[in-house]
Chains A and B, each alone.
Chain A
Amino acid sequence: MTSIRSTASEMSAALAAGTITSVELTEAHFARIEDVDSDVHAFLYLDKAGALAQAAESDAKRSRGEAQSPLSGVPLALKDLLTQKGIPTTCGSKMLEGWRPPYDSTVVAKLKSAGVVILGKTNMDEFAMGSSTENSAYGPSHNPWDLTRIPGGSGGGSAAAIAAFEAPLAIGSDTGGSIRQPAAVTGTVGVKPTYGGVSRYGLIAFSSSLDQAGPCARTVLDAALLHEVIAGHDERDSTSINAPVPQVVKAAKKLDIKGMKIGVVKELQGDGFQAGVLERFHDGLDALVSAGAELVEVSCPTFDYALAAYYLIAPSECSSNLARFDSMRYGIRVGDDGVRGAEEIMNLTRHEGFGPEVKRRIILGTYALSSGYYDAYYGSAQKVRTLLMRDFNAAFAQADVLVSPTAPTTAFKIGAIEDPLAMYLNDIATIPVNMAGIGGMSLPCGLAPEDGLPVGFQIMAPAMRDDLMYQVGGALEATLLAKWGAPILDLAPVLAAK
């Protein structure tokens, strides 16, 4: 029996078999959202009319016997930084309150043409800057495992929506871990594809050279199905890779990793990692060995500098990317009294419209790019990036994929981390992947014994070999599921309707 707790591939099969319609499935999800989202606050905007129309269209096509993509009629939640024509897109910022983009991002265009039903837009840290959704101008999202805890960030809304069964699939974006860390702390699967694998056209930029949209799901196969819908070369994104999309669905179904070499990154364990996180990570390693893979220890010494370099490159790019929010053409406008000049109104608007973390990064980036400081900061950070790539290349010469815990801790309490630098440490294991432009996945590997909260297992693959992480992820998931006897989300507290 299909329910909101089914996986996307189960829903897809039920739709194909005609045991449920997309309209029914969509309505069931809206009912669930109605029941729990006042607690979870995963969504910033619901497009009930648009979603039901899309669902009805998918049903109609199916009844006419027209060819359907596998995910046609399956609902999805969209992170609020991808433009969808006519639908409010805020990026979690007051700055864009009320803005309705006049165009579809490439990801949204691909979802629409695949018949995927977009339920609404999910909460996020403002302009994707944060690890907890506490930086959203519209209030934080809550972790379905414990509503007093964060669901990760920046894509906490997307991860929480999936973990709370408000949607089987979601789109996130990952600049330094914003898909993978939320997946880790909510017991879900999140994938950051190879940079250039998914078009950035219509993805509101935080840091252009690091941003990448990707799939969020409850299983590796579901993530793969969504991955294949949104990936591919796009002429509108010059940094998009013109090469065939890796066959990730096929890889996720393989369930065979015998003889594969798994590189365990020496620098991404030990100090700073919660004991229970490391314990479950080692369970994951054991599962891989039991599935026939071989472990090798690899060293990536430059990883120690990745976080510092990231916090120069990302703020530098963001200081320029966010300059366009000046109230002249769209978004809010503050202080336009007919007397003040344009410059003053720009100042007042940016003062009101941006939150403290965004301002902190704009100031940091402006400083790093300033004449006289450029070489020392931005220039050096780019060199670190080159060195990181060399480390990865050397490691991939020894192993097919690399692994580490996704995040150093399980979900922390909302409000618990006030120091921005302490918050940045959440991404210590995910950032090297973005800096090198390769692919990364997080999937659940158990619950930490000390707090009973989910732990994420990260798999990293060489550029455009996203299939390898799906292959390893699929096999690991199957091995752990056999051990546990039930999906990890079955252990999460049941969120009751109010």
Chain B
Amino acid sequence: MALNYDQAVAKYEPTLGLEVHVELNTHSKMFCSCSTEFGAEPNTQTCPVCLGLPGALPVVNGKAIESSILIGLALNCSIAPFSRFARKNYFYPDMPKNFQTSQYDEPICVNGYLDVEIETDEGAKQFRVEIERVHMEEDTGKSLHVGGATGRIHGADYSLLDYNRAGIPLVEIVTKIVGGTGKYAPQVARAYVTELRDILRSLQVSDVKMEQGSMRCDVNLSLAPIGSGALGTRSETKNVNSLRSVERAVVGEVVRQANRLETGERIVQETRHFLEESGQTRPGRSKEQAEDYRYFPEPDLVPVVPNSEWIEVLRATLPEKPSIRRKRLQDEWNVSDKEMASLVNAGLLNVVEATISLGADPARARSWWLGEISRLANEKEVDPISLISASQVAEVIQLIEAGELTDKLARQVVEGVIAGGGTPVQVIAQRGLKVVSDDSALMIAIEAAIAAQPDTADRVRGGNIPAAGALIGAVMKATGGQADAAKVRELLLKHLGKGE
């Protein structure tokens, strides 16, 4: 009888370890001046350095050091006064030098923590995740294995290599062993990765898009019988590419490992690949025989020795912690946890805050960004914030509040701005989208509608107020939707002797 999750955590204590790789959003690569722009033609963003040509030498990207220090500071780490790069030696075709320039025993940031909040049976509870290290390294190129069933190198007919990614700066953030979570291990893992993502986003050091690979998470997990105080053998689940998957991967591994232990099988120390469809993992490379990477200090680079004054300058620029900021904004805007979460998950918190700070009503700002603008962005498969600016949205909202635009007209204005028609005011002028508020113009249309539907007008005069809808509709149609419907209704009823 297989154990389910609840049964598994009733018997076994999970221990977590999380390794998160983050692609920094520097304009140039870690050790050369090549562009890091995503999506270029293969092998067009390369040079002698990132291709590892004979004789070429690396030079550290100062911006990447700065970003790494900011990350360390935001994670309450100590910044090492002296850190070094090391070479991790192994052969693979997508690695131009056949060694990766990384940091090994002397990383730039050490010993930090991140407090996360999870919902437990006893309500919200804070949990401290300790950070072991934050270190810098370079990304490898990308292999595309063509032919063969698995898309892996074994069995492929041939492989294509793209070195545009080779040398993109990466930061790896490694937690210490995370124990004592009990059954909440999946929630703690997810809350940690979520909070980390929000911090990195607030620092503006990475795009942190898990689905695009600019943030990748490896979940290490082991089980030991509750109360044994022991540490079990761990598995390392690779490439868990969404927040939901982080939670599911932990659940999946707890169940898999518990069932192996139940049947007396041993846990193999190995990497495993997360399967998005089933939430389970399949075995990858065995780590039973540790690979020897023959690390040694990179002789082509000098040690990183950040000046302590510079570190303090950077510390002073740290933004408000995302968790604190979210609570503050939630209170200010008076929105529910759920609404707040949807803004955060959509990555719209900053732009909504900017829109509100420009004078827009919080409720309207939220609904425009999450509603119409997100819908248009989905259609175009782009990021909402790339379509229209906060100030343009604020302007539209203010025009609605001033009664100069109806919601329907405002949607046309927004569409016009997105289509490249200029500012909201220019779009309104070009398309003649102003609300028709001139009473005499409206009266002509109302009289025409009454003349066209005399029976309907009589029913309204006879007290059947809802029948006025047909007349109002005719007026709206005649004015091309530019009239304020409430105003039309008011004038029509008054004209038919039914006004208040």
Contact = CB atoms under 8 A, between A and B. Distances in A.
A326 B98 contact: yes
B292 A370 contact: yes
B54 interface: yes
B93 A369 contact: no
Given A103-B48, A238-B59, A342-B159, A208 B98 contact: no
B300 A238 contact: yes
B139 to A, nearest CB: 17
Contact of B57 (A238, A320, A328): A238
A317 B299 contact: yes
Nearest to B155: A341
Contact of A238 (B54, B292, B301): B301
A144 to B, nearest CB: 29
A81 B54 CA distance: 9
Contact of A326 (B56, B60, B91): B91
A209 B161 contact: no
B55 interface: yes
Contacts of A319: 89, 294
B54 A239 contact: no
Contact of B53 (A203, A330, A369, A378): A330
Interface string B183-203: 000000000000000000000
B97 interface: yes
Contact of B99 (A201, A323, A366): A323
A204 B89 CA distance: 18
B87 interface: yes
A371 B289 CA distance: 12
B296 A238 contact: no
B96 interface: yes
B153 interface: yes
B59 A236 contact: yes
B54 A96 contact: yes
A102 B54 contact: no
B89 A105 contact: no
B296 A101 contact: no
A454 B38 CA distance: 61
The residue among A91, A208, A323, A329 with the most chain B CB atoms within 10 A of its own CB is A323
A102 B292 contact: no
Interface string A74-118: 000000011100000101000010010111010000000000000
Contacts of A320: 87, 89, 99, 294, 296
A155 interface: no
A273 interface: no
B98 A201 contact: no
A89 B54 contact: yes
Interface string A170-210: 00000000000000000000000000000011111101110
Interface residues of B, number: 32
A371 B291 CA distance: 9
Given A82-B55, A201-B56, A208 B300 contact: yes
Contact of B300 (A96, A239, A342, A371): A239
Contacts, number: 103
Given A201-B55, A328-B93, A238 B294 contact: no
Nearest to A209: B299
Contacts of A208: 299-300
B294 A370 contact: yes
Interface in A227-270: 235-239
A316 interface: yes
Please report whether the interface of chain A is mostly helix, strand, loop or mixed according to DSSP: loop
Nearest to B159: A342
B302 interface: yes
Interface string B327-370: 00000000000000000000000000000000000000000000
B51 interface: yes
A483 interface: no
Nearest to B291: A371
A64 interface: no
Nearest to B94: A328
B52 interface: yes
Contacts of A83: 53-55
Nearest to A210: B299
A46 interface: no
B98 A324 contact: yes
Interface in B168-218: none
B96 A200 contact: no
Given A204-B55, A235-B59, A369 B89 contact: yes
Nearest to B300: A208
Contacts of A343: 91
Nearest to A367: B294
Contacts of B56: 103, 201-202
Interface string B148-161: 00000110000101
B294 A369 contact: yes
Contact of A201 (B57, B296, B301): B57
Contacts of B301: 238-239
Interface in B266-322: 290, 292, 294-296, 299-302
A236 B57 CA distance: 7
B55 A324 contact: no
Contacts of A238: 57-60, 300-302
Contacts of B51: 329
Given A239-B302, A323-B97, A369-B296, A346 B55 contact: no
B161 A200 contact: no
Contacts of B99: 320, 323
Contacts of A237: 57, 59
A205 B299 CA distance: 11
Interface string A417-429: 0000000000000
A123 B87 CA distance: 30
The residue among B48, B51, B161, B294 with the most chain A CB atoms within 10 A of its own CB is B294
B171 to A, nearest CB: 20
Contacts of A99: 54
Interface in B378-417: none
Interface in B73-131: 87, 89, 91, 93, 96-99
B259 to A, nearest CB: 34
Nearest to A365: B294
B153 A342 contact: yes
12 contacts: A101-B55, A102-B48, A201-B57, A237-B59, A238-B302, A239-B300, A317-B296, A326-B91, A328-B161, A329-B96, A370-B292, A371-B294
Interface of B: 48, 51-60, 87, 89, 91, 93, 96-99, 153-154, 159, 161, 290, 292, 294-296, 299-302
Complex A-B, nearest 5 residue pairs according to Cβ-Cβ distance, in ascending order? A323-B98, A208-B299, A369-B294, A209-B299, A202-B55
Given A319-B89, A324-B97, 19 more contacts: A83-B54, A91-B54, A102-B48, A103-B53, A200-B57, A205-B54, A207-B299, A236-B57, A237-B57, A238-B58, A239-B301, A239-B302, A320-B89, A324-B96, A330-B54, A341-B154, A369-B296, A371-B292, A378-B296
